[in-house]
Structure 1
Amino acid sequence: MRPTRRIFLAGTSALALAPLLAACGDDAPGESGPQGKAAEPEKSAFPVTIKHKYGETVIKQAPKRVVVVGLVEQDALLALGIVPVATSNWFGDAPGRIFPWATDLLGDADVPKVIDPANGIPTEEVIGLGPDLIIGLYSGMTEAEYKILSKSANTIAQSGKYADYAEPWQESTLTVARAVGQPEAGQKLVDGADAKVAAAKAAHPEWQGKTAVCVTPYEGLFVYGPQDPRGRILQELGFTFPEQLVDKGAAEFGYSLSEERTGDLAGVDVVVWLDYDGAPAGMKAIFEKTDTFAEGRFFDINDSDGAYYVGQSFVTPLSIPYVLERYVPQLEAAFDGDPATKPPVVKN
């Protein structure tokens, strides 16, 4: 099943709505339970003013019921000791959309309810959960949705400094931390994940300045651009974005090129495909004529890779160490230009 345009522009690849991680169990019932025990707010953390796309939100005290209408912010909350009342559906069937890199942090708390934003944020459902803080940083929250939600609870929309779904994970993590009164803890969380990325970069000086891109088949060749979290993580590892794939008129975090433009992947040092097996035959025929294909400078991540497939798009301070452990060996194998070197099979 292909996702709607709205959900795809949230970052899903063409097959991302296929069931994933079903072994984790079913979603919990809709009742929202008590949250985990959060750390005490840091001194002078409140009141705090959060600026965003639709104005600013003043939070006067630590929230007790947080609903996540963005797609990934639950990770930052869990890392800070807060279990949200609800999260938003994006990938798979993991209960509460809490994935392996974060499940230990759930503790004995009730699994969050999962809301469905496929046709927009279900504002009535969100309000009915009785939140005192609504977070939608990695989201496409509209102004109309913000106005409805903000009448009932403190609501934080995407920053507006970037395209929707393009805010760097570092900034969104710090914003979540400020909103719940833990800015110093948030900074430590960011620093820890950044250190993991920096270590991987330092271990691979041969990647510096070489090109890499993440693509998927969707309305032609969909390119995750330099603003996208998938593109940014490659840049943070030392790669650069291929000039021949830049769409200077693109206002989104990614964009579709014509199927024929698949030939522009020639000369790219590493191509990371999402769901290559789902590509049309014509697209595969074009790609398989490139030197990138002939030299084995590519690999595919798809839903058979389970949690790793999720984590490659679900870029958070908790998922990054989990993903790097699997991603770096695949990048190494593809980068060497020897088709006999096969990227390792991912084991979840």
Structure 2
Amino acid sequence: MRVALVLTTAAALILTACGTSDDSTGPESGDGAEGAFPVEVTDKYGTVTIEEQPERIVTVGFNDQDFVLALGRIPVGTREYMGFDYRNRPWAQEQLDGQEIPEVGGLEVNAEQVAALGPDLILGTYSVLEPDQYDTLSQIAPMVGDLEAGDGTSTPSWQEQLAAIGDAMGARAEAEQLRADVEQDFRDAVEANPQFEGRTAAVALHMDDGSFYILEAGDPRNRFFSDLGFATPAVTGEVGPERYDLLDQENLIVVGATAETLADDELFQSLDVVSSDRTVYLGEFGTTAPAALGFASPLSLPYLIGAALPSLAAASDDDPATVVPAVEE
């Protein structure tokens, strides 16, 4: 099911990247001195030693590029983010500064293309690589692969990714400051909207066959909302029309559809959470807000807070007369 949920409808990719509730300081590393090498970073395959300051970084994770950009560097190669015009994502334009980054594969990473770029560091902290793929890439350059999640779920938090990437790049201080800044964005949003606290919200992917999938508490896309104070429903997973009642929570966040998409679904429209206008539609897969949720990076998360907060606030004020605005793009 995890692999299936990585691939969205219409062959678009939605990342199960990272949330914001983890308080860990990140993976094991060296002595922590800024820019001091060698450093050691631990991923799920073991510990990799990076001997010198990397100059040519290739990102083979689905969202690692954003982390490198946020720390002030532009990778020399990157993995394609499928199903979304990621080159024009609004949250990274300043960091990209108009530069095009060569691609080294999409669903599958092309090791030959990686090697041709002459990297001295390969980052894939959320890459979902098979062990043989990891081994192949690690023979090209020091490779930081998929990380173990500190909370026991299947994917690391964005803080864990940021700590690992910051250490590998020799940018620990910058990574720690960036973490503090993004976490402050979440605290500010929570402080401005105390009504979020404890409200049960189903974060539901709208699938190709018309069913929904309510995201589990440990799914990083769900963590975005739980870190704003929302609670996860007791029952999650696939929801067909016969169990649409599971969507009928205090709030509903639909990912992969618009209000217009579901306007003719009479059963869906009959739900109280829909008819009372307590539903937020993030938009179709391949559009900006769902992609920002999927990237779950220090660049995309603040962007999504700004885009989604007005809609979430209106949907949670318990006033049926309030019209919930569309999520901003």
**TM-score over 0.5 for the alignment?**
yes
1:256 aligns with 2:238: yes
Pairwise CA distance, 1:169: 0.8
CA distance, structure 2, for counterparts of residue 84 and residue 9 of structure 1: 27
Aligned 8 A contact 1:13 1:274 in 2? no
Pairwise CA distance, 1:279: 11
> Which of 296, 301, 323 does residue 277 from structure 2 map onto?
296
Moved more, 305-314 or 66-75: 305-314
Pairwise CA distance, 1:45: 2.6
Over 3 Å counting, the alpha-carbon distance change for 1:72 and 1:233 in structure 2 is same
Over 3 Å counting, the alpha-carbon distance change for 1:15 and 1:78 in structure 2 is same
1:9 aligns with 5
**TM-score normalized with structure 1 length:** 0.79
1:99 aligns with 89
- Tell me, what secondary structure is at the counterpart of 1:244? coil
CA distance, structure 2, for counterparts of residue 278 and residue 333 of structure 1: 15
1:133 aligns with 2:121: yes
TM-align CA RMSD:
2.9
Aligned 8 A contact 2:254 2:281 in 1? yes
- Tell me, what secondary structure is at the counterpart of 2:41? strand
- Tell me, what secondary structure is at the counterpart of 1:56? strand
Aligned 8 A contact 2:239 2:246 in 1? no
1:276 aligns with 257
Unaligned runs of 5+ in 1: 19-40, 246-254
CA distance, structure 1, for counterparts of residue 111 and residue 102 of structure 2: 14
Unaligned runs of 5+ in 2: 14-31
2:69 aligns with 78
1:208-235 C-alpha deviation (Å, 9 max, x unpaired): 1111132112363222222222211111
1:273-332 C-alpha deviation (Å, 9 max, x unpaired): 012359998994433232212211112122499433321222111112211112111111
Over 3 Å counting, the alpha-carbon distance change for 1:178 and 1:16 in structure 2 is same
**TM-score normalized with structure 2 length:** 0.83
Aligned 8 A contact 1:87 1:112 in 2? yes
Q: Give the counterpart letter for 1:65 in structure 2.
A: R
Say which structure, 1 or 2, has more relative contact order (CA 8 Å, 6+ apart): 2
CA distance, structure 2, for counterparts of residue 73 and residue 269 of structure 1: 34
1:75-121 C-alpha deviation (Å, 9 max, x unpaired): 221121110012222242243xx62212112236x421123332x32
CA distance, structure 2, for counterparts of residue 42 and residue 14 of structure 1: 45
Aligned 8 A contact 1:216 1:274 in 2? yes
Of all paired residues, the percent bearing the same amino acid is 29
Aligned 8 A contact 1:45 1:182 in 2? no
1:133-164 C-alpha deviation (Å, 9 max, x unpaired): 11111221111111111111111111123555
- Tell me, what secondary structure is at the counterpart of 1:243? coil
Over 3 Å counting, the alpha-carbon distance change for 1:60 and 1:278 in structure 2 is farther
Aligned 8 A contact 1:48 1:59 in 2? yes
CA distance, structure 2, for counterparts of residue 303 and residue 167 of structure 1: 25
Corresponding residue pairs, total = 306
> Which of 174, 185, 201 does residue 174 from structure 2 map onto?
185
CA distance, structure 1, for counterparts of residue 51 and residue 140 of structure 2: 15
1:334 aligns with 315
Q: Give the counterpart letter for 1:103 in structure 2.
A: Q
2:27 aligns with none
